[in-house]
């Protein structure tokens, strides 16, 4: 199934906030006609209203794809209206954290063709990374369709099994928030050492953005790139001694943060 099939049979989006909106924007920019898209959202943004998609109107009976992008807590209330589309030729793609394949199959029926996808917010500028995995009813073509859909907002990787999804959410799904927090705390440290707030923020943002781009583009590993900054006995080495401390540094802190993320994800799934 390609964009052509989606154009012909339609895409239904349930919930078009930050993530649904970013995906829709990428798809429209990629050439999907607005009149091939039906959105259900009780609080549409001004941007969404101006796109020309069908908004809160009657839905096609058998769209090519239904994209589920409401909060996990809303899913059980919002899904029943789409139940008639499940079990046939429509592929369901969900970006919600927490809810497992089993959960969707309970709500929609075991015959539903389903792909779980976990993007992240750099999707808003086409720089997201999305991990996808299908249920047993999803065919190879369905994974291709989900990949084509999510490629509109960045890279796509395929998982071997659903069990990997928890770690993906903990690392890349929520990860942008960790990086934004890194910018905040680097800027705060600069401020505490006497820099003006705007200057500290500019330095922190440019450093994280530049280092991220270098890590992505360079042939060197992140470890080698770190070593390249670190003169023996120099200033970076002094800072890294604090940050890389195996008891109190970032390694155990990040492990705890990711573990907390996964624990919450499992709670949301209940
Ligand atoms: N924001 C993020 O970084 C990421 C979010 N996700 C997932 O994406 C999903 C959506 O998250 P966001 O876009 O951040 O939330 P959001 O709050 O920006 O968007 C949710 C949208 O759903 C709409 N909505 C609420 N009740 C509805 C209903 N009954 N029927 C239809 N639409 C309804 C809201 O009006 C809103 O526009 C969540 O399940 C989340 O787990 C996945 C990866 C990353
Ligand atoms: O915080 C959340 O639950 C969602 C899932 C990944 C990013 N945001």
The boundaries of the domain holding residue 12 are 3-165
pLDDT in tens, 58-114: 999 999 999 999 999 999 999 999 999 999 999 999 999 989 999 999 999 999 999
Is 87 within a domain? Answer: yes
* Whether pLDDT at 256 is above 60: yes
- Mean residue pLDDT of the chain comes to 96
pLDDT in tens, 170-200: 999 999 999 999 999 999 999 999 999 999 9
Residue 58 and residue 125 share a domain? yes
Q: Would you call 17 helix, strand, or coil by DSSP?
A: coil
Q: Are 66 and 82 in contact (CB under 8 A)?
A: yes
- The residue whose CB lies within 8 Å of the most ligand 1 atoms, and thus the one to mutate among 71, 119, 261, 268, is 71
Is 170 within a domain? Answer: no
Is 122 within a domain? Answer: yes
Residue 97 and residue 14 share a domain? yes
Q: Of 130, 165, 200, which marks where a domain is finished? A: 165
Q: Of 135, 165, 195, which marks where a domain is finished? A: 165
Residue 124 and residue 70 share a domain? yes
pTM of the model: 0.95
Q: What is the pLDDT of residue 2?
A: 60
Share of the chain above pLDDT 90, in %: 95
Q: What is the pLDDT of residue 205?
A: 98
Query: Which residues does a 6 A CB cutoff place in the pocket of ligand 2?
Result: 97, 169, 173-174
Q: What are phi and psi of 139, to 5 degrees?
A: -95, 170
Reference 144, options 111, 117, 182; nearest CA is 117
Is 127 within a domain? Answer: yes
Query: Looking at ligand 2, which residue's alpha carbon is closest to its atom 5?
Result: 97
pLDDT in tens, 110-164: 999 999 999 999 999 999 999 999 999 998 899 999 999 999 999 999 999 999 9
Is the shortest distance between the CB of 41 and ligand 1 below 6 Å? yes
Reference 175, options 239, 103, 97, 99; nearest CA is 97
From ligand 1's centre to the CA of 203, what distance in Å? 32
Question: For position 152, which CATH number holds?
Answer: 3.40.50.720
């Amino acid at each position: 199934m390609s964009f052509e099939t989606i154009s012909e049979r339609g895409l239904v989006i349930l919930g078009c906030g930050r993530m649904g909106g970013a995906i829709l924007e990428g798809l429209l920019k990629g050439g999907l006609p607005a009149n091939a898209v039906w959105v259900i959202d009780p609080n549409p943004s001004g941007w969404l209203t101006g796109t020309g998609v069908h908004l809160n109107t009657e839905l096609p009976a058998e769209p090519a794809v239904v994209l589920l992008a409401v909060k996990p807590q809303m899913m059980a209330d919002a899904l029943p209206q789409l139940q008639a589309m499940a079990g046939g030729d429509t592929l369901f793609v969900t970006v919600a954290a927490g809810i497992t394949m089993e959960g969707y199959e309970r709500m929609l029926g075991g015959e539903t063709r389903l792909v779980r996808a976990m993007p992240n917010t750099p999707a808003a500028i086409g720089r997201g990374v999305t991990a996808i995995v299908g249920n047993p009813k999803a065919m190879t073509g369905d994974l291709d369709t989900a990949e084509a859909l999510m490629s509109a907002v960045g890279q796509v990787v395929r998982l071997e099994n659903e069990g990997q999804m928890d770690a993906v959410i903990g690392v890349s799904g929520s990860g942008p928030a960790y990086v934004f927090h890194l910018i905040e705390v680097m800027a705060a440290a600069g401020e505490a050492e006497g820099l003006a707030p705007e200057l500290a923020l500019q330095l922190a943002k440019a450093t994280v953005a530049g280092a991220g781009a270098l890590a992505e583009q360079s042939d060197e590993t992140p470890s080698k790139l770190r070593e390249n900054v670190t003169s023996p006995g120099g200033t970076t080495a002094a800072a890294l001694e604090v940050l890389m401390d195996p008891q109190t540094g970032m390694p155990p802190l990040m492990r705890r943060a990711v573990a907390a993320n996964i624990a919450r994800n499992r709670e949301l799934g209940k």
